């Protein structure tokens, strides 16, 4: 498994590699090739996975639209070549960081070359991101996808919008998953409510990086006139502008920003403390936070985009038009007015996760996939 970052950095892709790898380590010999962060060893074993880290300069400030952190690792090619010789399958998890030379090296060694698309073709984010992302996928990204033997995507929308039609014969969908034991309706949310200074108020939760593509300003607009507390958990460059918007709308009393790092065990309690989960994204290849909320037994109100269209059904929540605060407000108001509907949808949400999005289910899909690739 090849990815620019790995734990202790906990991004979405890193969580996927960790959850897949540790569950498959008894069936396969797994090595994770990644970047050495400060304080991490060059080699170690993590839950049955061998983790190799290459020295790198990690850039934490980048011009828009490049997302940090971005490692510059001159020796990664040599390490990739050495490790590719030892393994039958080389599975890349990020097309935007690695380049065609990395993929061609693996191809030359006659190893099975797999790419997972964790990000869809950029559309609807902002003009610069859309233009540069599309240009990349039409040039470098296309060469990479042509070079690969197999492609997986985290949603059907990601596959259709990103993989050229003539290459889809070697592509398939394998969704991301959630730890349904960690996120479940039995978690006690009282500690989180105390942390937030809430008592019996109805709470709407949103978990997201504070960047343009998450559309948080539209959720804030939707809160005007709603009798509830909105908790926004996340940090990012849009924090100041979002707080200014809250102040301009005069709803400071109803919006709480949690931008500090919270302990890992607090996140499930945040979901448990909430009554409704909302995600107003403009771009969402999968939507893991929505699945975490559903696993916690919460109804969801999310944008009708990307992987969210495949995750959220009418039984578990509402799909709303992106960039439409009125649509978001009307669906939130409907849930706010009916505790019975919230309870019913939350129960169905939990059921949908148990049937479709647990890591045990997803890992079975990956195991079958790897066995097919090896054959």
The answer to whether 47 and 65 have CB atoms below 8 angstroms apart is no
Do residue 45 and residue 149 come from a single domain?
Answer: yes
Crossing angle (nearest 10°) for helices 339-356 and 325-336: 110
Q: Are residues 115 and 52 in the same domain?
A: yes
> Using CA atoms in the order 154, 157, 160, 163, what is the torsion angle rounded to 10 degrees?
-40
Residue 303 maps to a domain = yes
Euclidean distance between CA atoms 302 and 293, whole angstroms: 11
Residue with tokens 């998953």: 177
Q: Which domain holds residue 54?
A: 12-177+358-374
- pLDDT digits over 90-125, tens only? 999 988 888 899 999 999 999 999 999 999 998 888
Q: Give 216: exposed, middle or buried? Use CB within 10 Å, 0-12, 13-18, 19+.
A: buried
- Partners of 319 in the β-ladder: 302
> The tokens of 357 are what?
């999005």
Confirm whether 185 is domain-assigned. Answer: no
Residue carrying the six token digits 């014969």:
169
DSSP 358: B
CB 213 within 8 A of CB 129: yes
- What mean pLDDT is predicted for residues 241-269? 95
Q: Are residues 16 and 165 in the same domain?
A: yes
Q: Same structural domain for residues 349 and 365?
A: no
The pLDDT assigned to 65 comes to: 78
Contacting residues for 195 by C-beta, under 8 A, at least 6 apart: 266
CA 82 – CA 209 distance, rounded (Å): 36
Q: Are 212 and 343 found together in one domain?
A: yes
In a domain, 183, yes or no: no
DSSP 88-137: SEEEE--TTTS-HHHHHHHHHTT-EEEEEE-SPPP-SS-HHHHHHHHHHH
Under a CB-based contact definition with an 8 Å cutoff, are residues 270 and 187 in contact?
no
- Whole-number Å distance between alpha carbons of 185 and 309: 23
Looking at the structure, do residues 169 and 195 belong to the same domain, yes or no?
no
CATH number of 135's domain: 3.40.50.2000
> What separation in angstroms does the CA of 103 have from each of 93, 106, 149, 171, 288?
12, 5, 10, 17, 28
Maximum CA pair distance of the chain?
Answer: 62
* The two three-digit tokens of residue 106, written as one number: 């693996």
Same domain, 160 and 305: no
Say if residue 170 is in the same domain as residue 202.
no
Residue 67, pLDDT above cutoff 80: no
Other Cβ atoms closer than 10 A to 262: 14
Q: Is residue 258 part of a domain?
A: yes
Q: Are residues 76 and 149 in the same domain?
A: yes
Q: What is the pTM of this model?
A: 0.91
Mean pLDDT (the chain) is 94
Share of the chain above pLDDT 90, in %: 86
Q: Mapping DSSP to helix (H, G, I), strand (E, B) and coil, where does residue 285 land?
A: coil
Check if the beta carbon of residue 220 is closer than 8 Å to that of residue 242: yes
Contact 223, 254 (CB under 8 A): yes
Decide if pLDDT at 148 tops 90: yes
> Does residue 24 sit within a domain?
yes
Q: What is the pLDDT of residues 183-212, one digit of tens each?
A: 999 999 999 999 999 999 999 999 999 988
- DSSP assignment of 170-195 equals GEEE----B-TTTS-TTS--HHHHHH
Query: Do 225 and 164 belong together in one domain?
Result: no
Among 29, 139, 37, which Cα is nearest to 91's?
29
Listed in sequence order, the residues at least 6 apart from 52 whose beta carbon sits closer than 8 Å to its beta carbon are 31, 32, 33, 34, 42, 43, 79, 83
Number of domains in the chain: 2
Does the residue 71 lie in any domain?
yes
* Domain membership flag for residue 229: yes
**Total number of residues shown for the chain:** 375
Q: Give the pLDDT confidence score for residue 70 in this predicted structure.
A: 85
Residues 6+ positions from 12 with CB-CB distance below 8 Å: 118, 176, 286, 288
**61-65, 78-82, 285-289, 354-358: which range is least confident on average?**
61-65
Position 7 in a domain: no
Same domain, 27 and 173: yes
What digits encode the pLDDT tens for the residues 22-65? Answer: 999 999 999 999 999 999 999 999 999 999 999 999 888 888 77
For residues 299 and 234, membership in a common domain is answered with: yes
Query: Is the pLDDT assigned to residue 68 strictly greater than 90?
Result: no
pLDDT digit string, tens, across residues 3-12:
999 999 888 8
């Amino acid at each position: 498994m090849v990815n620019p970052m790995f734990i202790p950095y906990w991004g979405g892709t890193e969580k996927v590699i960790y959850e897949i790898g540790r569950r498959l380590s008894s069936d396969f010999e797994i090595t994770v090739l990644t970047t050495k962060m400060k304080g991490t060893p060059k080699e170690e074993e993590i839950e049955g996975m061998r983790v190799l880290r290459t020295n790198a300069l990690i850039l934490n400030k980048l011009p828009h639209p490049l997302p940090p952190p971005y490692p510059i690792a001159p020796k990664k090619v040599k390490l990739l070549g050495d490790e590719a010789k030892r393994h039958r399958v080389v599975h890349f998890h990020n097309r935007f960081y690695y380049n065609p030379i990395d993929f061609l090296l693996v191809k030359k060694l006659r190893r099975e070359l797999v790419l997972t698309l964790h990000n869809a073709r950029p559309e609807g984010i902002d003009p610069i991101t859309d233009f540069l992302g599309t240009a990349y996928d039409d040039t470098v990204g296309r060469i990479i996808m042509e070079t690969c033997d197999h492609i997986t995507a985290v949603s059907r929308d990601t596959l259709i919008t990103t993989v050229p039609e003539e290459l889809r014969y070697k592509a398939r969908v394998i969704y991301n998953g959630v730890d349904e034991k960690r996120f479940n309706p039995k978690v006690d949310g009282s500690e989180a409510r105390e942390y937030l200074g809430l008592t019996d108020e109805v709470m709407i939760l949103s978990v997201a990086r504070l960047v343009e593509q998450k559309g948080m300003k539209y959720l804030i607009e939707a809160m005007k006139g709603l009798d509830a507390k909105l908790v926004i958990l996340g940090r990012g460059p849009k924090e100041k502008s979002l707080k200014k918007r809250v102040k301009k709308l005069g709803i400071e009393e109803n919006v709480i920003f949690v931008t500090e790092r919270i302990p890992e065990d607090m996140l499930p309690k945040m979901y448990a403390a909430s009554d409704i989960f909302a995600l107003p994204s403009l771009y969402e290849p999968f939507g893991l936070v929505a699945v975490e909320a559903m696993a916690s037994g919460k109804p969801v109100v999310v944008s009708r985009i990307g992987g969210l269209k495949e995750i959220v059904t009418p039984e578990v929540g509402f799909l709303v038009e992106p960039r439409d605060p009125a649509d978001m407000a009307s669906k939130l108001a409907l849930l706010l007015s009916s505790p019975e509907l919230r309870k019913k949808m939350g129960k169905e949400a939990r059921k949908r996760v148990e049937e479709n999005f647990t890591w045990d289910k997803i890992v079975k899909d990956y195991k079958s996939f790897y066995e097919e690739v090896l054959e």
